[in-house]
Structure 1
């Protein structure tokens, strides 16, 4: 497992470094370039380890969340006024979004990008991919 995660770690670090370089470059309007992207479960595992400020958001229904979720995740059901529910979140924070298979979290990624959030990651394949990659599950 460790050998499989190492290449993903290198790629993730390169992506994070590149996004950091872009935001520190000279700009005429002093605005940061947003990082809004879909990442693999292996990259998400590493991201969680590397970023202690990361907020993990489970977009599924509360009963699905109660049955199994990524440890530390908060539940914000995308079906119930998601755009309004994320209004109170820090737009400069880091967020990892997931659902069952990645469809709802892709929509949430777009919504958060439109609302001006700067660092949002979508877990491609959702919690299903997370479990296949050996990610921890809270019940």
Structure 2
């Protein structure tokens, strides 16, 4: 084996060892927090089917009022992310299914986490948000 190949093999092996040590050194609490800080998701195709079957759930649009007015999902209830408070949903039973969405999924994920932390038991975030919904050509509605 040439010196060049030997050095490459050693550096690759050391890189792998460093990566493994980094993962092992990451506190389990931090790993769990990263997993916990994400609301479960629902794909646009699944939500569209659910809307067509008229399944019972609450659909929360967490975008700004201007975004909401550019088109929203059928039956969506507007709750502005910027001003969202749990009192905005105090009329919803904690065991009722809630699906949240925004433009891409970030803001709605944060609202979804707040809902889960407040004891709501069945919360989902629209994966990819309205961007994903519109890219698939699914219908939007205007009030």
Structure 1 stretches of 4+ with a deviation exceeding 3 A read none
Between Structure 1 and Structure 2, whose CA radius of gyration is higher? 2
Segments of 5+ residues of structure 1 without an aligned counterpart are 1-35
- What's 2:124 paired with? 121
* 1:103 pairs with one of 93, 101, 106: 106
TM-score (norm 1): 0.68
Query: What is the RMSD of the two structures over their aligned residues, measured on CA atoms?
Result: 1.6
Q: Deviations over 1:49-107 (max 9, x none)?
A: 34521111100111211121011111011110333312332111111100011000111
Residue 92 of structure 2 corresponds to residue 66 of structure 1: no
Contact in 2 for aligned 1:48/1:54 (Cα 8 Å):
no
TM-score (norm 2): 0.66
- What's 1:92 paired with? 95
Size of the alignment, in residue pairs?
104
- What's 2:45 paired with? 42
Q: Quick check: 40-49 or 54-63, which moved more?
A: 40-49
